[in-house]
Amino acid sequence: MITSASEQLFPDHPAPDSAARRRFRALARSAPWLSTSLRLELNVPEHLAQSGLHGTLGLILRGREAIAISNHEDTVCYQRELFTAERGQDYVAATGSSWSLPASLTSPVYTEDHLIARRPQIDGYQDLLPLDFLASVLDPYELAGTEPASLDLAFEHPTYIHELAETRSSHGRAQLSAVLTAGHNYHPRSPVFALVPAGTQTLIVLDLDTGICVERRVLGSSEAPLGITVLAKNEYYIDSLFTSPTPTMTDVRAHIPWTVRAAP
């Protein structure tokens, strides 16, 4: 049920019609197909901090194969990549994700405005991301499911859209903002983090250009909001940004032992 006008976040906007709701859900499915790389600024609340990653962080993400995170002093505090991972026989036999394709090699069903109506199974982030919530905000398809709900079944959507508005960020980026509640078919992709917690109304803001969730705020709660700023997309990043430098020269100041074999 839609809240009263005095409690609405967007009282000047009409109740969302079916076309607007379909557009929001299609955008929630579309993130992997809308960018090949992202440069973000991430504000991590204390209750979501892990491994010393909290506060304002800079994040560079190249597809689903490499990530680099820096702190507010621009010091790299986390790097990980999967492009040098072993791809031998044992990997294929032991890893179910080895059979999944990246988004660029799949053929989803598109809507008229080139968003995703039905998405196939694609390669996941595996163990690339250091924060539990990152996969959910970078690819928020849990809000909509992988395909539209059946018209023959009532309340089949994972989430209910109570309010919906086109908004802009403080940097002028176009967004879709919605007030959501979880339905009985809502299944968070992370067991420890839900974009829309059960029994709450949650403001979810999707960036219209990249499809990622740039704000998540549980309404009526003291929980600090989660915010992301999109700085750039589809930039080219070389491999060395995601790997630790290795020494390429010998330190001649260190003694080099020589083994002399005894004469026969």
CATH of the domain at 114: 2.50.20
Average of per-residue pLDDT across 196-200: 94
pLDDT reported for residue 231:
96
Q: Model confidence over 126-139: pLDDT tens digits?
A: 889 999 999 999 99
Confidence at 61, pLDDT banded by 50, 70, 90: very high
Residue 257 lies in a domain: no
Rounded Cα gap, residues 69 and 80, in angstroms:
9
- The residue range of the domain holding 82 is 16-86+94-242
Confidence at 238, pLDDT banded by 50, 70, 90: very high
Confidence at 261, pLDDT banded by 50, 70, 90: confident
pLDDT reported for residue 207:
98
Which tokens belong to 239?
């491999």
Give the number of domains in the chain: 1
Residue 261 lies in a domain: no
With 0-12 CB in 10 A as exposed, 13-18 as middle and 19+ as buried, what is 119? buried
Percent of the chain past pLDDT 70, that is, above it, reads: 86
* Residue 146 CB coordination number (10 Å): 14
| Average pLDDT over the chain, rounded to an integer | 87
